[in-house]
Structure 1
Amino acid sequence: MNTNNPTAAYHSAGIEVQAMEATPHGLITMLFDGALLAIKLAKAHMMENKTIEKAQSINKAIDIVGSGLRAALNLKEGGELANNLDELYEYVVMQLLKANLNNDAALLDESYGLLEQLADAWKDVGTDPAAARKA
Structure 2
Amino acid sequence: MLEESGLDAYQHTQLEARAASADPHHLVLMLIEGFMDELARAEGHIHAKQFDRKAKSITKCLDILSGLDTALDKDKGGQLAENLHQLYDFCGRRLFECSLKNDLSGLEIIYKIMNDLKQGWEAMAAK
Structure 1 counterpart of 2:17, one-letter code: V
Q: Which residue in the other structure is 1:71 paired with?
A: 70
Aligned CA-pair RMSD: 1.4
Structure 2 counterpart of 1:24, one-letter code: P
Q: What's the offset of the Cα at 1:50?
A: 0.9
- Find the residue that maps to 1:69 and give its secondary structure: helix
Give distance in 1, aligned partners of 2:54 and 2:82.
30
Give the alignment's TM-score, normalised by structure 1: 0.88
Structure 2 residue 15 is the aligned partner of structure 1 residue 15: yes
Structure 2 residue 72 is the aligned partner of structure 1 residue 50: no
Give distance in 1, aligned partners of 2:6 and 2:39.
25
Structure 2 residue 125 is the aligned partner of structure 1 residue 126: yes
Count residues with an aligned counterpart.
125
Give distance in 2, aligned partners of 1:114 and 1:106.
14
Unpaired runs of 5+ in structure 1? 129-135
- Find the residue that maps to 1:70 and give its secondary structure: helix
Greater fraction of residues in helix: 2
Give the alignment's TM-score, normalised by structure 2: 0.93
Give distance in 1, aligned partners of 2:6 and 2:118.
31
Unpaired runs of 5+ in structure 2? none
Q: Displaced runs of 4+ in structure 1, greater than 6 A?
A: none
Matched ranges for 1:30-45 at <5 A: 30-45=30-45
Identity %: 32
Give distance in 2, aligned partners of 1:125 and 1:107.
29
- Find the residue that maps to 1:104 and give its secondary structure: coil
Give distance in 1, aligned partners of 2:94 and 2:110.
7
Q: Which residue in the other structure is 1:94 paired with?
A: 93
Highest RCO, 1 vs 2 (Cα 8 Å, sep ≥ 6) = 2
Q: What's the offset of the Cα at 1:77?
A: 1.4
Q: Which residue in the other structure is 1:84 paired with?
A: 83
